[in-house]
Structure 1
Amino acid sequence: MERMPADDGTVHVLVADRQTAGRGRRGRQWQSWPEGSLTFSLAWRFAASTPAPAGLSLAAGLAVARALERIGVPGVQLKWPNDVLVNGEKLVGILVELQPARDRSLAAVIGIGINLSLPPDAHVEHHAGVTDLARALESTPPSRPALLAYVLAELHLLLDTYSVAGFAALKNAWEQRNAFADLPVRISSDHESTDGTCLGVDDDGALLLDTASGVQRILAGDVSLRPLGGETA
């Protein structure tokens, strides 16, 4: 974000062996351990005058989910708006930040963190259920460079589609992996919470919640998703 590379027609990727100040949504810290995580950011540029992209974090999550499925991870799910789960436990976190350019174009910095092998004493704040790739795979996980290649290939493919057709073109694929489809959920913001049934997402990536007062559109950025009567998910 501070040293945005020049627009030279390529997708720039920055990989960290370990993050010491990783960030998640709502100011939370993303934790990583040496050789225990794959953490990287990529800069994706949109054409000048493109409106603010909607549903981009969902598109990125879908790309990561597809990469994990390609290497044989079973039970991959997507939690709105930007987490990838395996059988209900968090494996991947995603943070998307937009940066306008002088030519009125937009660049998105997509930060992704994947748990590879967490230390036995690892404690991840705010998340009761967390897993890693070593537990999610029945076989030996790929190397960090190989996993990065799988994820970048899927990101390039889906972001190309997203740039042309928007999230609507990816919506059905996201819905197929929706961790909370048709389940009772609680949407919590800093000041209030709303209960209802998760109906999925719309073409802009907003969550559709069936509540006592009707269907509500919940926008990304200031809410969290919790199963009713359960632990934070």
Structure 2
Amino acid sequence: MERNIALIELLADGAFHSGEAIAAHLGITRAAVWKALRKTTDELGLALESVRGRGYRLLTPLELLDAERLLGAMSDHGRHLVSRLELHRQIDSTNAFLMRAAAAGAPAGAVCIAEQQTAGRGRRGRSWQSPFGVNLYLSVLWRYPTGPGVLGGMSLAAGATLAEVLAAHGVQDIALKWPNDILWHRRKLAGLLLEVAGESQGPSHLVVGLGLNLSMRQSQAPDIDQPWVSLNEILDGAPLGRNRLAGALVEALVHALERYGREGLSPFLDPWRAFDPLAGEPVRVIFGDQVIEGRHAGISDEGALQLETSTGLRRFQAGEVSLRPIERPETPAL
């Protein structure tokens, strides 16, 4: 993997590099360059171009993650809240890494971010497609003196926080789908995975994981079974620095985690509701083997999904519940 990363670091600028330069950079023979290039780009799912007399280049330049640039995009207070930053080129899962680190005593504010996950996870046991260098995969650890039972609302707090960051970076029409999917025109842009452990009466620790699609191509995510979108498509190819955005997201998350410990869910309710397009709309809730239809009545002050049904108001906690809109039939043209 080290040789692969060294090669990608050289080619990340998207410019042509001669076979001689690549051989010298990797410390291999000129004859071995093509094999190394094909092996690396195939393994990482990257598109390579070869032009006689000019050399080789990646069709899509990459902005690789850089700890100094990421931290440099944060305020002094934000950097103060980050106790340590773990940057990995490849990892099984940023959440799994921090859950292991938490069990070993890692402090609040530990952050893990990776170029690629080999075992990325989403909600309800689903896998999270995590190709190299084209998205953001990051997790943040926080510790609380209370038990895990009071941390359920952090799912909504994190979603509202991330939606605000994206809106501030020019992403219009961001929407939240309870409990924490981040959508654009009903296509999934990002998802959150929260994992908590601790004593029933405290203390406890929480890991918030984020996967955000930046410039992923369809060919890099053949197994995704729902509509999705990348930030690059939303912004029509306008550049948005990967390290700068990662720094903004990490800063917002550590602030939110710290604030939640002091104030709970309350300060995040109005921002969450502002990004909820399904409020007042007909929806169905899938709860185990049950499918319950009704009108989405927003979220309660405790963060529960509220559903107006023919039998009255019902409330649902996140758990294994899934929310789906009911499409309205189109009105025939007159």
| TM-score, normalised by the number of residues in structure 2 | 0.64
Q: Which residue of 1 aligns with 2:225?
A: 126
State, as a whole percentage, how many aligned pairs show the same letter: 35
Q: Which residue of 1 aligns with 2:283?
A: 185
Assess if the C-alpha contact under 8 Å between 2:148 and 2:204 holds in 1: yes
Amino acid across the alignment from 1:6: G
Name the SS of the counterpart of 2:101 in structure 1. Answer: coil
Q: Which residue of 2 aligns with 1:68?
A: 166
Divergent runs of 4+, >4 A? 48-51
Cα distance in structure 1, aligned partners of 2:289 and 2:149:
29
Assess if the C-alpha contact under 8 Å between 2:140 and 2:250 holds in 1: no
Residue 199 to residue 143, structure 1, CA distance change in 2 (3 Å): same
More strand by share: 1
Cα distance in structure 2, aligned partners of 1:103 and 1:194:
34
Name the SS of the counterpart of 2:215 in structure 1. Answer: coil
Q: Which residue of 2 aligns with 1:145?
A: 243
2:253 pairs with 1:155: yes
Cα distance in structure 2, aligned partners of 1:139 and 1:75:
17
| Alignment deviations for residues 175-208 of structure 1 (CA, whole Å, 9 cap, x no partner) | 0100311110011122111101111101111101
Q: Which residue of 2 aligns with 1:115?
A: 213
Amino acid across the alignment from 1:115: N
Q: Which residue of 1 aligns with 2:188?
A: 90
**Deviation (angstroms), 1:2:** 2.0
Assess if the C-alpha contact under 8 Å between 2:148 and 2:200 holds in 1: no
2:153 pairs with 1:55: yes
| Alignment deviations for residues 20-59 of structure 1 (CA, whole Å, 9 cap, x no partner) | 1111111111111112210011101112457531311111
2:294 pairs with 1:196: yes
Q: Which residue of 2 aligns with 1:34?
A: 132
Amino acid across the alignment from 2:105: A
Cα distance in structure 2, aligned partners of 1:119 and 1:139:
13
State the number of aligned residues.
228
Cα distance in structure 2, aligned partners of 1:107 and 1:181:
32
2:303 pairs with 1:171: no
Cα distance in structure 1, aligned partners of 2:224 and 2:236:
27
Cα distance in structure 1, aligned partners of 2:224 and 2:198:
32
Unmatched runs of 5 consecutive residues or more in structure 2: 1-98, 329-334
Residue 111 to residue 83, structure 1, CA distance change in 2 (3 Å): same
More helix by share: 2
Cα distance in structure 2, aligned partners of 1:214 and 1:110:
34
Q: Which residue of 2 aligns with 1:77?
A: 175
Cα distance in structure 2, aligned partners of 1:102 and 1:198:
32
Cα distance in structure 2, aligned partners of 1:141 and 1:108:
33
Amino acid across the alignment from 1:224: S
Cα distance in structure 1, aligned partners of 2:282 and 2:255:
33
Amino acid across the alignment from 1:109: V
Cα distance in structure 1, aligned partners of 2:289 and 2:214:
35
Name the SS of the counterpart of 1:23 in structure 2. Answer: coil
Cα distance in structure 2, aligned partners of 1:145 and 1:153:
12
Bigger drift between 167-176 and 135-144 goes to: 135-144
Assess if the C-alpha contact under 8 Å between 1:187 and 1:195 holds in 2: yes
| TM-score, normalised by the number of residues in structure 1 | 0.90
Query: Radius of gyration: which is bigger?
Result: 2
2:202 pairs with 1:100: no
Amino acid across the alignment from 2:257: L
**Deviation (angstroms), 1:164:** 1.6
Cα distance in structure 1, aligned partners of 2:239 and 2:204:
35
Assess if the C-alpha contact under 8 Å between 1:133 and 1:141 holds in 2: no
Name the SS of the counterpart of 1:154 in structure 2. Answer: helix
- Superposed counterparts of 1:17-28, under 5 Å: 17-28=115-126
Amino acid across the alignment from 1:123: P
Bigger drift between 79-88 and 118-127 goes to: 118-127
**Deviation (angstroms), 1:69:** 1.1
Residue 50 to residue 110, structure 1, CA distance change in 2 (3 Å): closer
Cα distance in structure 2, aligned partners of 1:156 and 1:52:
18
Assess if the C-alpha contact under 8 Å between 1:76 and 1:177 holds in 2: yes
Cα distance in structure 2, aligned partners of 1:63 and 1:126:
26
**Deviation (angstroms), 1:143:** 2.5
